[in-house]
Structure 1
Amino acid sequence: MDTMRDRFAPVVSRLLDEDPRVAVVLAEIGKDGFAEAMARHPERVINVGIREQLLVGAGAGLALTGLRPVLHTFASFLVERPFEQVKLDLGHQDVGAVLVSAAASFDWPAGGFTHMAPGDVALLDTLDGWTVHVPGHPDEAETLLRHAVAAGDDKVYVRLSTQSNARGRAVDGVRTHTVREGRGGVVVAVGPMLDAVLDATETLDVTVLYATTVRPFDAAALRRATEAAGTGVVLVEPCLAGTSTAAAGDALADVPHRVLGLGVGRRELRKYGTTDEHLTAHGLDAGSLRERIGGFLRAPGDA
């Protein structure tokens, strides 16, 4: 199966052909995938070199001229390194762009901590007006990329990952979907965490929701689910643990509830190993999730 990032250049290259507003700005990373598109549209495919602050600044400048810029590099260089430009060049100037990342939390462990960005979504949460998509399969990534580019002049972040569920699901860039219904709590699986969550909860009487668009957070879907399954909620995210707990708490602010946020821990893992080893070390494999989810949702007094 191809990866989400494998879909990125072909999809956006087609959008460059279809829509004269679309532009692409690269910081060296991913340039080979756009070689043909650059030959066809040299004025709308720009490689600024390894200058991530300029990447965002140039994108904002293109947006000010009326174009729809798509900016791409590794998550740590797209959100963290040029955060001031994301905050000011896009946010303060009130212009939109589509930020499309690669590498996510620890997709390339050999790259070391410089290439890891589990806090990217939490960092964008400090800013106003961002839509955040976290696809869990290449088919979903393609759909959400098209949604993002077509979203007027909005500020959109699309978080691509090499981690993937076995199959894609119908996503619309807005709603959280119910995958399984139960009465003993609600588990929200974000993006590529769905398969592990389904394995972990196979013997648990819980509702499983699937979220690929986490900002805006689908508060209505969570509220509906808790009406039948109870207000014990577990969020399982491929990014920093607790990233969406505040959003879930806001959704249930008028009812007693408990929320547990599971995700990537804050401690740096210096023996980088493999992606699967990182998942296990952060307690995001199916076995660890089964224990953590079950322990949290188990009724008081249960053995």
Structure 2
Amino acid sequence: MDTMRDRFAPVVSRLLDEDPRVAVVLAEIGTDGFAEAERKHPDRVINVGIREQLLVGAGAGLALTGMRPVVHTFASFLVERPFEQVKLDLGHQDVGAVLVSAAASFDWPAGGFTHMSPGDVALLDTLDGWTVHVPGHPDEAETLLRHAVGAGDDRVYVRLSVQSNQRGLAVDGARFLTVREGRGGVVVAVGPLLDAVLDATEGLDVTVLYATTVRPFDAASLRRATEAAGADVVLVEPYLAGTSTAAANDALADAPHRVLGLGVGRGELRRYGTVEEHVAAHGLDARSLRERITGFLAGAGARVRS
């Protein structure tokens, strides 16, 4: 199966052909995928070199002229390193762009901590007006990329990962999907963690919601699910643990509830290892998730089907 990032350049190259407003801004990363597009659209495929602050600033400048810039590099270089430009050049000037990241929280362990960005979504949460898509499959990435580029002049972040579920679902860029229904609690699985959550909750009487658009947070779907399944909620996110707990608490502010946020821990893992080893070390593999989910729900009398 191809990866989400494998889909990125072909999809955006087609969008360059279809829409004269679309431009692509790169900082060396990913240039090979746009070689043909650059020959066809030399004025709309721009490589600024290894200058990530300029990467975002150039995208904002294009947006000020009416273009729809798609800005791409690793997450740590796209959100964290040029955060001031994200905050001011895009947010303060109130212009839009589509930021598309690669490497996610720890997709390239050999790159070390400089190439890891578990805090990217939490950092964007400090700013107003961002839509955040976290696809869990290449098909979903293609859908959400098209949705992001076509979203008027909004500010959109699309978080791509080499981690993937086995199959893509029909996502719409807004709502959570109900994948499994139960009565003993709600587990929200974000993006590429759906398969692990489904394995972890097999036999448990819980509702599983699937989220690929996490900002704006789909409060209505969570409220409906808790009305039927009980007000204990577990959020399982492929980035910093607890990133969405405030959003879930706000969604359920008028009802008694408990929320557990699972995700990437704050501690730095100082060995390269593999992606799978990082997943397990952060407790995001199916076995660890089952222990943590059942332990949390046990206090509410979660039911397990025989």
Q: Secondary structure at the match of 1:189?
A: strand
- CA deviation profile, 1:126-162 (whole Å, cap 9, x unmatched): 0000000000000000000000000000000000000
Q: Secondary structure at the match of 1:249?
A: helix
2:51 aligned residue: 51
1:121 aligned residue: 121
Q: Secondary structure at the match of 2:151?
A: coil
1:254 aligned residue: 254
1:236 aligned residue: 236
Alpha-carbon distance between aligned partners in 2 of 1:274 and 1:89, rounded to the nearest angstrom: 36
2:10 aligned residue: 10
Give the alignment of 1:51-130 within 5 angstroms: 51-130=51-130
Give the alignment of 1:181-260 within 5 angstroms: 181-260=181-260
1:143 aligned residue: 143
Contact 2:144 / 2:173 at 8 angstroms: preserved in 1?
A: yes
Q: Secondary structure at the match of 2:166?
A: coil
The CA deviation at 1:299 is: 3.2
Alpha-carbon distance between aligned partners in 2 of 1:271 and 1:151, rounded to the nearest angstrom: 40
Distance 1:300 1:146, change over 3 A: closer
Q: Secondary structure at the match of 1:127?
A: coil
Alpha-carbon distance between aligned partners in 1 of 2:15 and 2:300, rounded to the nearest angstrom: 54
2:293 aligned residue: 293
- CA deviation profile, 1:170-203 (whole Å, cap 9, x unmatched): 0000110000000000000000000000000001
The percentage of aligned residue pairs carrying the same residue is 88
1:26 aligned residue: 26
Alpha-carbon distance between aligned partners in 2 of 1:155 and 1:37, rounded to the nearest angstrom: 24
The CA deviation at 1:256 is: 0.6
Unaligned 5+ runs, structure 2? none
2:180 aligned residue: 180
2:264 aligned residue: 264
Alpha-carbon distance between aligned partners in 2 of 1:41 and 1:141, rounded to the nearest angstrom: 23
1:270 alignment partner AA: R
2:255 alignment partner AA: V
1:37 aligned residue: 37
2:280 aligned residue: 280
The CA deviation at 1:271 is: 1.0
Distance 1:300 1:176, change over 3 A: closer
1:39 alignment partner AA: R
Alpha-carbon distance between aligned partners in 1 of 2:302 and 2:105, rounded to the nearest angstrom: 35
Unaligned 5+ runs, structure 1? none
Give RMSD over aligned pairs.
1.0
Alpha-carbon distance between aligned partners in 1 of 2:151 and 2:302, rounded to the nearest angstrom: 48
Alpha-carbon distance between aligned partners in 2 of 1:179 and 1:301, rounded to the nearest angstrom: 22
- CA deviation profile, 1:245-270 (whole Å, cap 9, x unmatched): 00000000000100000000000000
Number of residue pairs the alignment of both structures matches: 303
Contact 2:184 / 2:301 at 8 angstroms: preserved in 1?
A: no
Alpha-carbon distance between aligned partners in 2 of 1:137 and 1:302, rounded to the nearest angstrom: 30
2:214 alignment partner AA: V
Q: TM-score, normalised by structure 1?
A: 0.99
Alpha-carbon distance between aligned partners in 1 of 2:39 and 2:104, rounded to the nearest angstrom: 29
Q: Secondary structure at the match of 1:194?
A: helix
Alpha-carbon distance between aligned partners in 2 of 1:234 and 1:300, rounded to the nearest angstrom: 13
Alpha-carbon distance between aligned partners in 2 of 1:301 and 1:215, rounded to the nearest angstrom: 31
1:112 alignment partner AA: G
2:154 aligned residue: 154
Q: Secondary structure at the match of 1:24?
A: strand
2:51 alignment partner AA: R
Distance 1:169 1:302, change over 3 A: closer
Alpha-carbon distance between aligned partners in 1 of 2:166 and 2:75, rounded to the nearest angstrom: 23
Structure 1's consecutive aligned runs of 4 or more residues displaced over 2 angstroms after TM superposition are 299-303
2:33 alignment partner AA: G
Contact 2:165 / 2:192 at 8 angstroms: preserved in 1?
A: yes
